[in-house]
Amino acid sequence: MAPQRRMTRQVQIGLSHSEKAKRLSSTGFYEEALKELNIALRAFETENRDGLWDDAIAGVLNNAGFVYIFMGNYQGAEDTFRSAIGLKERLGDKKSLAATLAGLADAYRGQCRFDDAASALQEALDAAVAIKDDSMAKTLTASLDALERTRCDMPDANYKKADFDELYVPKAGADVSARLAYVKIKVKAPDELTVEADIGFPYQMQDLEDAEAPHFPAIVLLFPKGVESVLEGSGVTDEEENPVSFNASAFDGLLYGPGSYCRGGPQPLPLCKQYLYTFGAGHVLGWHIGANGWYHVEASLRVNLDAGLRLYICMPFGSVKLRSAAVAIDRPSAWGAVLLTAGNFLQGRSLETAKLPHVPHKSLYEGPAKAKIKSEAGTTMKYGVLCLEMIK
């Protein structure tokens, strides 16, 4: 005769603390929930002679695994789910096993072990199909889709566009080494600004293009949010001074560097993923970039300079080597100080737009305004941002 389960004091403790853990977890008190689950686990293990309470222990482990997921402790989640799977395989409950395999896939996803996550989800899907649970099979199929979107930095299936501009630079830009041989910024009173640059791609072995972006967004001119500017003229010529196919468009929002995780991508972010971005209002200059091409870029803008100037010249390439930079000021006496700084795009696991839109790493000039300012210091930027700040 098989032994029967009895509602002992320890079992009551296990059930009580399991329920308390669920309430704590649902309100975000994850560490407290884990403490309750550990008490429940010890209580059930005390009474688990001959595997009588294997199902309860597996349930506690399963819940703990998801709490670890919520906390971002993906290794802890993996270890806990594996322990639960061992028990559930013995119990033969395929539906419960499939749910735990889905949790294990989440743990793998958080560690960027995407192939392992896909295998776990496929095993769970096979179990759901075997027991003809169509609802679970549909959910697991959606999870497989979300996993692939995570792997490829794509938006979630239910992604909703924001009410501001968002531009994702094609991933090919991450492998590009650009040479910024010369950049000159002219500040003309009262509200005129011109930018000239000679930029080349000497190590680019093939044309740099994307099916969705025939004009590669090579230079983006940004001002702080709320600063209005008008692009009055722009153009690009190659090294033989021939015009090249070119596009200029207004922009006001977030510019994402190549390889950035999508703002609307499946959450939470895996450990290996992050946002690569800058932000502001201005203009995107794009053109067809040919193999080993060199280009001269010109842009003239009107912008209100009454409150000073902060211009960001953004070049979303994996490496940008600057050789020479210059600033020409028509009326230097109208200005107090000038700062010219080289920096990089922001990187992180959250989008923060309340701070500066770049990470400064080298000062090229800091001092009084002069009619002509030139820096030959040179520097190499990763996803480069050249910032000119002029203070009244």
If you count them, how many residues does the chain have? Answer: 392
Residue-by-residue pLDDT tens, the chain, 392 positions: 456 677 788 888 888 999 999 999 999 999 999 999 999 999 888 888 777 788 999 999 999 999 999 999 999 999 999 999 999 998 888 999 999 999 999 999 999 999 999 999 999 999 999 999 999 999 999 999 999 999 999 999 888 888 899 999 999 999 999 999 999 999 987 899 999 999 999 988 888 866 566 799 999 999 999 999 999 999 999 999 999 989 999 999 999 999 999 999 999 999 999 999 999 999 999 999 988 999 999 999 999 998 899 999 999 999 999 999 999 999 999 999 999 999 999 999 999 999 899 999 999 999 999 999 999 988 999 999 999 999 98
Does residue 158 belong to any structural domain of this protein? no
> How many domains are there within the chain?
2
Domain for residue 207, yes or no? yes
- One domain, residues 103 and 198: no
For residue 210, what are the domain limits? 166-391
140 and 178 part of one domain: no
Residues 171 and 82 in one domain: no
Q: Is residue 242 included in any domain, yes or no?
A: yes
Q: Quote the strand ranges of 47-169, DSSP E.
A: 165-168
Instruction: Say which CATH number the domain at 113 has.
Output: 1.25.40.10
Q: Is the pTM of this model over 0.85?
A: yes
Q: Which amino acid is at 348?
A: G
263 and 185, same structural domain?
Answer: yes
Cβ(253)–Cβ(164) below 8 Å:
yes
Among 151, 178, 197, residue at a domain's last position:
151
Cα three-residue angle 136-142-145, rounded to 5 degrees: 145
What is the Cβ-side half-sphere exposure of residue 110, based on CA atoms within 13 angstroms? Answer: 20
**64 inside domain:** yes
Amino acid at 90: R
**Do both 196 and 127 map to the same domain?**
no
Contacts for 144-147: CB closer than 8 Å, 24+ residues apart: 144/118, 146/266, 147/105, 147/109, 147/114, 147/117, 147/118, 147/121, 147/266
**Which position has the token pair 């009326």?**
331
* Residue 114: how many other CB atoms lie within 10 Å: 18
Residue 341: how many CB atoms within 10 A of its CB? 20
Regarding whether 273 and 373 lie in a shared domain, the answer is: yes
User: Which of 125, 151, 177 finishes a domain?
Assistant: 151
263-266, long-range: CB within 8 Å, 24+ apart, which pairs?
A: 263/155, 263/162, 263/166, 263/351, 264/155, 264/156, 264/159, 264/160, 265/149, 265/150, 265/153, 265/154, 265/155, 265/156, 266/146, 266/147, 266/149, 266/150, 266/156
Final residue belonging to a domain, choices 106, 128, 151: 151
Cα separation of 328 and 73, whole Å?
53
In a domain, 156, yes or no: no
User: CA-to-CA distance for 290 and 204, rounded, in angstroms?
Assistant: 8
Q: At what angle do helices 94-110 and 134-151 cross, to 10 degrees?
A: 10
Amino acid making up residue 195: V
pLDDT at residue 1, rounded to an integer: 41
Residues 66 and 178 placed together within one structural domain of the fold: no
Please indicate, yes or no, if residue 159 is contained in any of the structural domains: no
Q: Establish how many alpha carbons lie within 13 A of residue 54's alpha carbon, considering only the half-sphere containing its beta carbon.
A: 16
Q: Report DSSP letters for 347-371, one per residue.
A: EESS---SS-SSEEEEEEEEEE--S
Q: Are 218 and 255 in contact (CB under 8 A)?
A: no
Do 146 and 271 belong together in one domain? no
The DSSP secondary-structure symbol of 257 reads: P
Q: Is residue 234 assigned to a domain?
A: yes
Same domain, 118 and 221: no
In a domain, 328, yes or no: yes
Confidence at residue 11, expressed as pLDDT on a 0 to 100 scale: 83
| 117 and 184 assigned to the same domain | no
Q: What is the pLDDT of residue 300?
A: 97
Q: Based on the domain organization, do 189 and 269 belong to the same domain?
A: yes
Same domain as 191, residue 340: yes
